[in-house]
Amino acid sequence: MTTVSVSHFTFTYQHRDQPVLKDVNLTFPDGKISIIAGPSGTGKSTLLKSIAGLYPEFANGDYTGAITIGNQNIKQIPATDFSGLISMMFQNPNQQFTMTNVYDEIQFALENRQLDPAIIPERIDDALKFVNITKLKHRDLAALSGGEKQKVALAIIIAMDSDIILLDEPFASLDRQSRADLLHQLTRLRDQKQKTIILVDHDLSGYEKVVDTFFYLAPGQYQIKQLTPKEVAALLVPFDNAELKAVSFPLPNAGDAADLVLDHCELKQNDTTLLTANQFKFLNNKVTLITGENGIGKSTLFKALTRLFKYQGVITYQQKDIQKIKKKKYLSHVALVFQDAEMQFVNITVEEELALSMQNAVHNHYSKDEINAMLKALQIDGREKQVVYTLSEGQKKKLQIIEMLIMGTDILLMDEPFKGLDINSLATVVEMLRTASQKFGQTIIIISHQLSGLETLFDYHIQFKNRQLAYKEQLL
């Protein structure tokens, strides 16, 4: 019996007067797929980590109430049995690797489970095949793209073969095809191996036919409740792809102004060429979307554009070679919102982060009141003194977006800025970006796998495919 029950669960972090979750009572049925949705910062990850037995030990906080598997309280389960029973994939895959390469990491996990060394290699191969990443088998973990990391993290969970699988936004960085494939694989785990799967996600597209039970974490109530079929249907409306198919974008004209231009530029990672571009323009004062498969080179392109990555050929900004502009000066024109939010932070608390941006803003587009309004609109107000690292993943993203908007650079590159944002926050961010582009004339270029809820944001669409960039009319 692997039914997971949570009863009278109340979790409180130190230095906060309100609990994140209050008197939660839930049952995740045996052998089914359950999903928990809800706004960011409401305690979904906190709950999953508590079920995985990592909290309260690794949290500055504690809970009351009980979590049981079958009829055994998890606190009574011996540590050596635990990993056979439950395994969890973290929200941020960067936090989940301890070895240097893919193979070693999986092997380490299997040795811990005291598997017979003779069967370990086969297990590893099977798991990699299951997630369709056999080609990553001997790759260094640090050299993987964001999406590749998530796939590896999932493969490890598969190899560990625990009865209960917890997945915290497992598909947030995956391209649409991989996402669809892996969603299908989850149903195989359930139907063929009777796994109990509990997952958290914001982007609900594709879940309709897969998930058995929907839970929703209602904001402000610190409570999680199971949804009725009618409520589920309402929840899924914004994730219907019909609208996406209908969207169409203009193609640029030859005369369109462009400050940022790739001029016979080539991106190489070791020996593989990621991109060749003879003459490619990023249009001024527009919001442009870049899409492309996992590992195609999108993040690398942004790193090249901000001089974090060495490329061949020339990139120009306002007709000047960017390598010839002083770095600090150049970066005050072209800034990057990193794929990993923690990379962005320079200070310790939320307050200090914001103050730094206000103090050094290139253009003062926003008044103090407007900034406070932005914080409030994204529900991260009242956290001035909180240490940035303790924010939930979604809250980190929000802070990151606000502080980089405040900088007011001419061009803002955003690497998956919508990852982990709930549907309402997404709408608010879309609004902010539209304002930045239309009112302040900022050029915004965005990499995103998620498309639902973004139809109105983009002016142009660039597809990254077959080592080429090309403007496209269609979204899908």
Partner 1 sequence: MNAAIKLFMVIVIGVEISFIQSVPLNLCILAVSCCYLLIKRVSIKSLLYLIIYPIIPATGLLVSQLFYGIQGPIIGWVLFTRLFAYVWLGATFTMTTNIKDLAFTLEQNFRLPSKFAYGVLTAFNLVPRIITEVQTIRHASLMRGVTMQLWSPKLYFKAILAAINWSSDLSQAMISHGFVEDAPRTHVEKTTIRWSDFAIFAFWLILVQVPIFVF
Partner 2 sequence: MSKRWSLRNIILIALIAIVCGVIFWLTSFIYNALTLILTPIGLAPAANDISLGLWIVAGPLAGAIFKMPGVAIFSEVAGAVVEMFLGDQWGVMNVVSGLIQGAGAELGFAVTGYKKYGHFQLLMGAIFTTLITFTWDWFKNGYSSYGAGLLIFLFIVRFISVWIFSDPIPMAINKLLKRSRAIA
Binding site for ligand ATP (CB under 6 A): 13, 16, 20, 40-46, 60, 91, 143-148, 173, 269-270, 274, 292, 294-300, 390-395, 420
Cα–chain-centroid distance for residue 29? 27
If contact means CB under 5 to 8 A according to the sort of partner, which of partner 1, ligand ATP, Mg ion, none does residue 28 touch?
A: none
* Complex with partner 2: residue 79 or 254, whichever CB lies closer: 79
CB of 390 to partner 2, least distance (A): 8
* Complex with ligand ATP: residue 25 or 273, whichever CB lies closer: 273
If contact means CB under 5 to 8 A according to the sort of partner, which of partner 1, partner 2, Mg ion, none does residue 15 touch?
A: partner 2
If contact means CB under 5 to 8 A according to the sort of partner, which of ligand ATP, Mg ion, partner 1, none does residue 375 touch?
A: none
Cα–chain-centroid distance for residue 282? 25
Out of 42, 50, 299, 437, which residue is the one contacting Mg ion (CB under 5 A)? 299
* Complex with partner 1: residue 375 or 426, whichever CB lies closer: 375
Quote the crossing angle between the two packed helices 102-112 and 120-131, to the nearest 10°.
120
Q: Is 42 in the site for Mg ion (CB under 5 A)?
A: no
CB of 335 to partner 1, least distance (A): 4
Indicate left, alpha or beta for 250 from its phi (over 0: left) and psi (-120 to 50: alpha).
beta
| Phi/psi at 461 (5° precision) | -130, 125
Q: Which two tokens mark 38?
A: 């809800």
* Complex with partner 1: residue 146 or 453, whichever CB lies closer: 146
- One-letter amino acid at 318 equals Q
* Complex with ligand ATP: residue 71 or 270, whichever CB lies closer: 270
Contacts 24+ apart (CB under 8 A), 76-79: 77/53
CB of 45 to partner 1, least distance (A): 12
Q: For binding to partner 2 (CB under 8 A), which residues are involved?
A: 15, 58, 60, 348-349, 387, 389-390
SS3 of residue 6 by DSSP? strand
270-302 burial code (b ≥16 CB/10 A, e <16): eeeebbbbeebbbbebbbbbbbbbbbbbbbbbb
Among candidate residues 448, 455, 470, 456, the one with its CA nearest the CA of residue 289: 448
Q: Which two tokens mark 139?
A: 């790759």
Cα–Cα distances in angstroms (integers) from residue 26 to residues 9, 73, 201, in the given order: 9, 14, 18
Q: For binding to partner 1 (CB under 8 A), which residues are involved?
A: 49, 52-54, 58, 79-80, 82-83, 87-88, 90, 94-100, 104-105, 107-117, 120-121, 142, 156, 160, 306, 308, 327-328, 331-332, 335-336, 338, 342-346, 348, 356-357, 359-362, 389, 403-404, 407, 409
CB of 153 to partner 1, least distance (A): 10
Among candidate residues 383, 379, 373, the one with its CA nearest the CA of residue 394: 379
CB of 147 to partner 1, least distance (A): 19
Q: Which two tokens mark 302?
A: 């942004």
Among candidate residues 394, 451, 467, the one with its CA nearest the CA of residue 175: 451
CB of 451 to partner 1, least distance (A): 27
* Complex with ligand ATP: residue 206 or 420, whichever CB lies closer: 420
CB of 387 to partner 2, least distance (A): 6
